[in-house]
Structure 1
Amino acid sequence: MFSLTGRVALVSGAGQSVGEGIAQVLARQGAAVIVNDLHPERAEKVAAGIAEEGHTAIAAAFDVTDYAAVEGRVRAAEAEFGRHVDIVVNNAGVAEERVIKPFRELSPEQWRAPIDLNIYGSMNCIKVALDGMCDAGWGRVVQISSGSARTGQNINQSMYATGKSGVEGFIRHLAAETGQYGITANIVALGHQKNLEDKMSPEMIEQILRTIPIGRLGDPVEVGAFCAYLASDEAGGITGQTLDFNGGSQTR
């Protein structure tokens, strides 16, 4: 059950944290994984780790906001695997050029990076894979999002939230357009993940944990398992949905 054997999966932002967990689980379920990251060394490390487990992956370093780069590298990977991409998991979402300030302090030039990454980056990856999926009569799109897309928060992340809100709307329309071709498209809205432990003090983490009913941060492998389910044949009846994966924390 939930086998991905014979499928090819593209996972963006897969060089660390949640993206790494997703890539690992999809590979363990049988998919050949294109491990994307902006930084080659991160993509190569994850792909090598998957290969060490006896599974199939190749590193693919490119900027998802550059359509030509996405198309060129994905086509090369498809040629290497001898099959088109069946599964796209858009996980890349935190722009390196992001500026964490209240909106009133941001210049128009500072709006673009998180919006370009979350909207155009996701659309680029989907566009490159979509014709192959439609022609085959089967495909899966999983968009990683955040509760921030639907909940106003005073945390200086308005542009990140705007990008996530925009791509969620796009995915719902994509699901409606492509369902007739055997393609599903769903959104996984994450809550706080374990990578926060590398960014925040123990005191801040403790405050966050008090808002999460299960009392812990999200685990990348659990997120990967959920994505593997959504990418499987057994999830063929689920499409156009935003599914919260947040340990029960309030997101709307």
Structure 2
Amino acid sequence: MFDLHGRVALVTGAGQSVGAGIATVLARQGAAVVVNDLYADRAEQVSKAIVAEGGRAIAAAFDITDLDSVVEHVDRAAEKFDHHIDILVNNAGIAEGRVNLPFRQLTPDQWRAPIDLNIYGALNCTKAVLDKMCDAGWGRIVQISSGSARAGQNIGVSMYATGKSGVEGFIRHLAAETGQFGVTANILALGHQKNLESKMTEQMIRDILATIPIGRLGDSIEIGAACAYLASDESGGMTGQTIDFNGGSQTR
């Protein structure tokens, strides 16, 4: 079940944290994985770890906001694996130099990066792989999002949330357009992840944990497992859906 042998997956922002977990699990399920990151050393490290486990992976360092670069690396990967990309996980979402401030304290030049990355980055990657998926009659697109897209928060992430809200709308419309071609598109909206432990004080982490019913931060391998399902044949009846994966911290 959830066998991905014969599939090729592109995971963006896969050089660390959640993306690395997703890439690792997809490879364990049999997919050949294109490990994207903005930084070559991070992509190489994850790719080498996958290969060391017996999986198939290549590192692909490129900026997903650059459409020409996306297309170039997608074509390279298809040539390397002798198969087009038929699984796309749009995971990259934290812009370089991200600033967390209330909107009224942001300057217009601080608006663009998180929106460009989360919306145009996903558009670029989707555009680069979608025709081949539709022509083949099978494809899986998984968009990693956040509860911030649909819940107002006073924590200075309005621009990040704007990008996530926008791309969630895109994925729902994309699902409606591509279902007839055997291509599904779904969203995993994440809660707080373990990578916060290196960015926050112990007290801040305790305060966050108090809001999460399962009492712990998210685990990248668990997220990878959810992506493996959404990337599999068995998920063919699910498309256009947003799945909250947050330990119960936001319920509706």
Q: Same fold (TM over 0.5)?
A: yes
Matched, 1:161 2:161: yes
2: CA distance between counterparts of 1:5 and 1:165? Answer: 33
2: CA distance between counterparts of 1:155 and 1:251? Answer: 19
SS of alignment partner, residue 33 of structure 2: strand
Change (3 A) 1:251 1:145: farther
Q: Residue 217 of structure 2 corresponds to which residue in structure 1?
A: 217
Q: Residue 176 of structure 1 corresponds to which residue in structure 2?
A: 176
| 1:108-132 C-alpha deviation (Å, 9 max, x unpaired) | 1110000000000011111100011
Q: Residue 54 of structure 2 corresponds to which residue in structure 1?
A: 54
| 1:46-104 C-alpha deviation (Å, 9 max, x unpaired) | 00000000000000000000000100011011101000000000000000132221111
1: CA distance between counterparts of 2:203 and 2:43? Answer: 32
2: CA distance between counterparts of 1:211 and 1:133? Answer: 40
Q: Which amino acid is the alignment partner of residue 203 of structure 2?
A: E
Q: How far has the Cα of 1:251 moved from its partner?
A: 5.5
SS of alignment partner, residue 33 of structure 1: strand
SS of alignment partner, residue 94 of structure 2: coil
2: CA distance between counterparts of 1:250 and 1:23? Answer: 26
Q: Residue 25 of structure 1 corresponds to which residue in structure 2?
A: 25
Q: Residue 34 of structure 1 corresponds to which residue in structure 2?
A: 34
SS of alignment partner, residue 45 of structure 1: helix
Question: 1:147–1:251: 8 Å Cα contact kept in structure 2?
Answer: no
Question: 1:148–1:251: 8 Å Cα contact kept in structure 2?
Answer: no
2: CA distance between counterparts of 1:181 and 1:56? Answer: 27
In structure 2, list runs of 5 or more residues that go unmatched: none
In structure 1, list runs of 5 or more residues that go unmatched: none
| 1:110-160 C-alpha deviation (Å, 9 max, x unpaired) | 100000000000111111000110000000000000000000000011000
SS of alignment partner, residue 172 of structure 1: helix
SS of alignment partner, residue 109 of structure 2: helix
| 1:163-204 C-alpha deviation (Å, 9 max, x unpaired) | 000000000000000000000000000000000001011111
Q: Residue 2 of structure 1 corresponds to which residue in structure 2?
A: 2
SS of alignment partner, residue 243 of structure 1: strand
- What is the identity percentage for the equivalent residue pairs of Structure 1 and Structure 2? 73
Q: Residue 237 of structure 1 corresponds to which residue in structure 2?
A: 237
1:51-130 equivalence runs, <5 A: 51-130=51-130
Question: 1:151–1:251: 8 Å Cα contact kept in structure 2?
Answer: no
Question: 1:190–1:246: 8 Å Cα contact kept in structure 2?
Answer: yes
SS of alignment partner, residue 238 of structure 1: coil
TM-score (normalised: structure 1): 0.99
Aligned-residue CA RMSD in angstroms?
A: 0.7
Q: How far has the Cα of 1:234 moved from its partner?
A: 0.3
2: CA distance between counterparts of 1:251 and 1:127? Answer: 33
Question: 1:209–1:216: 8 Å Cα contact kept in structure 2?
Answer: yes
SS of alignment partner, residue 184 of structure 1: strand
Report how many aligned residue pairs link the two structures: 252
Stretches of 4+ moved more than 2 A in 1?
none
